[in-house]
Structure 1
Amino acid sequence: MADLEGTCDARFADVADLLADNLASGEDLGASIAVTVDGRPVVDLWGGWADQEQVTPWRRDTITNVWSCTKTVTSLAALVLVERGLLDLDAPVARYWPQFAAQGKEGVRVRHLLSHTSGVSGWERPVTVADVLDVPTSTARLAAQTPWWPPGTASGYHLLNYGHLVGELVRRIDGRTLGRFVAEEITGPLGADFHIGLPDHEFDRVADVLPPPPRPVGLAGADPDGVAMKTFTGPMGGADESWHPEWRRAEIGAANGHGNARSLARIHSVIACGGTLDGVRLLSSRTIDAIFQQQSDGPDLVLGAHLRFGIGFGLPSPAVPYLPQGRICFWTGWGGSVVVIDTERRAAIAYVMNRMGAGQLGSARTAQYIEAAFAALD
């Protein structure tokens, strides 16, 4: 059993044992797990290695690319604007971003962007990762596109462009970029070590993610011009893209947030605790209620899985059997990172790692940790 650092309430001993076992076996290389209840940490554990060579330990302040868990923080930024009366979920996106009305998108609503139902789940090809890192140019390209399905009729996971779309609303309403807004309005006030757009002086704290096992050929035989194929290949990049300085510096609100489990749990404790944490008020109960308004329920056009989306977050569905029913919202990151918010238990759970695992909505390790955490909460 590997040594862990941090703190853990006795009732969460099974969570600690799982992490220690997975680190000892090599299933996890380096990782952190955090659980908060009523905003207070009851689990804050980390251990293992920050590098594949096993030279640098995973430390308290180690951070890594959390992939699509970034989307939850991006969503929270939009919800802060909703709370302040500056963003209307039922308004056309074009009210704030006139160019977005092009090519039949005048009816796309703000709630469609936040629930992956806008019809714009990726870029028209050809497009490269370098193109996506040029956020102003690649965002303008999205505004000029034709939707790939009738907006609002189904979800199609906005894999890499979610932050471009939502972040542009933030920028046009507030004037600040998404990363700066998050830093000044969310993570700064909460004291959370999370970054969308990482400064160079923080690079030495980053644990590079290790690519997951090769994906099954899930797109074999798929329509080359279908929604899934266009989304996954526009662009198609590997996990090692996140090792590059250009990736770290960019503000990719769908995929390049850097943080750890502690920071993700801290941020999302605001939702778990009714919108206020340690005197920082970001949301009201009414805005939190909007998260749980179901916007779609069925096979996702990109991922293929049966998903339910609310506003900005996934809701429990057949695709995530490790989540109990209840007033729960969540999302995962490629390879296994996850953040789960339970407003009934007033709990937030997060897991962040550098050895990416197989699986579409979390890895086998993700399921282990989340199930153990809920068993302790119950």
Structure 2
Amino acid sequence: MADAMVEGSCEPGFEKVREVFTSSFDKGEVGAGVAVYVDGQAVVDLWGGWADGARTRPWQRDTIVNTFSTTKGMTATCAHRLVEEGRLDVDERVATYWPEFAQAGKQDVTVRHLLNHQAGLPGITAQLAPEKRFDWDTVTTALAAQAPAWEPGTHAAYHAVTFGYLVGEVVRRIDGRSLGTYFEQEIAEPLGLDFMIGFGPEHDERCAEILVPPPEPDGTLSPAAAASAGMARGTGSRTWRAAEIPAANGHGTAAAVARMYGALARGGDLAGVHVLRPETISAATVRQEPEAATGSSATGPGGGDTAGQLAARGPVGITGLPFALGYMVVGDFLALRAATAGGPTGQPVRGASAFGHPGAGGSIGAADPVAKVGFGYVMNQMQAGMVGGAHGFNLIAAVYDCLG
């Protein structure tokens, strides 16, 4: 792909980010955007490629795209805003805020268990009518009645879609607004973020088409690619786009993702807009482990086991991911990447303090409070896998190379 196809701005010293971004289009990317904030200042805002598989619509500055689980970082930020205001306690029982949730032996499940994927509700077991799959009341009623798949707090497995309904319903019960509306009014509008959790048809014309992962040479899809393809199908429907699915259907630009994390990376404020206090951010980004493994639900920031531990598929879902409270410890992904790259051992991992959330197929948002970096990457060509992809992590590595 010619460099002329990449547009936007890149401050001096960050040329490598542009180089890596441009090269991604020679490695299978179709359309994408990347943005970086350093200490509250936008230093990279690039976009390029095509918004559709037919390559008829160039990716524009305001092209939005489904970011899948990168949405979870926005949802987590909403929950921690309520914690900061004293309206939500992560160690309180969910049933205190949502009484119906106490059904089926869930009376002692805490909000912490929802945020750290230990609640035992990684999927919906009830058979929902196709037209009700994204209906908020239908889904949350089913989850309230469902028995946990394990004793909450003793095991962690990725609540890939249910996370958003569970946390979102707690937010709604406390505040009265839906998660999407709360995010729009309390986070997105004050910060100027072009990011929405549920939107109307007036934005359809600038929404990129999500493309399924390419097949293997023999024409088949690997299990990881099949999982990504399953997520991709149906994302272009008006029903999907209009629904609020706070774990999976946030649509936005890379600049919006980077700007929110840029605020969190510098203590929770940007351009005079307050998002979260530093102490709130610190508490929210501690890596969590099940009580059965540690004797408590919290371990410590980042670090820990990484190689061989991330994204293993167990009988009840994806396990071994570096869960914090709604965010993931992105530093652990970076540590794994460094370990598998065969670099020098015993060296500090760049970005060890980073947190955020990756999305199925490749998108990712992250904040590094030590380097004061906010990062966002969005794309439409899904790669295999449920938690990020090579292009996004290559760009994060390029950012650290530019920082020196």
* Runs of 5+ consecutive residues of structure 1 not aligned to the other structure: 221-231
What is the identity percentage for the equivalent residue pairs of Structure 1 and Structure 2? 42
Contact 1:307 1:319 in 2 (8 A): no
Contact 1:305 1:319 in 2 (8 A): no
CA distance change for structure 1 residues 26 and 289 in 2, over 3 Å: closer, same or farther?
A: closer
* Mapped partners of 1:319, 1:275: distance in 2: 23
Contact 1:2 1:48 in 2 (8 A): no
Query: Does 2:314 correspond to 1:308?
Result: no
Q: What does residue 260 of structure 2 align with? A: 267
Select the residue among 271, 278, 286 that pairs with 2:279. 286
Q: Deviations over 1:171-224 (max 9, x none)?
A: 10000011111110000000000000112111111011101235533799xxxx
Q: What does residue 182 of structure 1 align with? A: 183
* Runs of 5+ consecutive residues of structure 2 not aligned to the other structure: 216-220, 290-303, 339-349
Q: What does residue 398 of structure 2 align with? A: 372
Contact 1:306 1:318 in 2 (8 A): no
* Mapped partners of 1:26, 1:133: distance in 2: 34
* Mapped partners of 2:129, 2:36: distance in 1: 37
Normalising by structure 2, we get a TM-score of: 0.85
| 1:162-201 to 2 correspondences below 5 Å | 162-201=163-202
* Mapped partners of 2:107, 2:287: distance in 1: 22
* Mapped partners of 1:160, 1:72: distance in 2: 13
Q: What does residue 229 of structure 1 align with? A: none
SS in 2 for 1:309: coil
Q: Deviations over 1:44-72 (max 9, x none)?
A: 00011111121111000000000110111
Q: What does residue 238 of structure 2 align with? A: 245
**How many pairs align?**
363
Q: What does residue 255 of structure 1 align with? A: 248
Select the residue among 217, 223, 229 that pairs with 2:223. 217
- Write the letter of the residue equivalent to 1:107: D
Select the residue among 332, 338, 352 that pairs with 2:358. 332
* Mapped partners of 1:260, 1:128: distance in 2: 32
* Mapped partners of 1:306, 1:19: distance in 2: 29
Q: What does residue 87 of structure 2 align with? A: 86
Shift of 1:15: 1.3
* Mapped partners of 2:383, 2:98: distance in 1: 38
* Mapped partners of 1:253, 1:162: distance in 2: 8
* Mapped partners of 1:237, 1:361: distance in 2: 14
- Write the letter of the residue equivalent to 2:239: E
Query: Does 2:147 correspond to 1:146?
Result: yes
Shifted more, 107-116 versus 319-328: the winner is: 319-328
Query: Does 2:321 correspond to 1:321?
Result: no
Shifted more, 313-322 versus 35-44: the winner is: 313-322
* Mapped partners of 1:133, 1:77: distance in 2: 21
Normalising by structure 1, we get a TM-score of: 0.90
* Mapped partners of 1:329, 1:263: distance in 2: 16
- Write the letter of the residue equivalent to 2:284: I
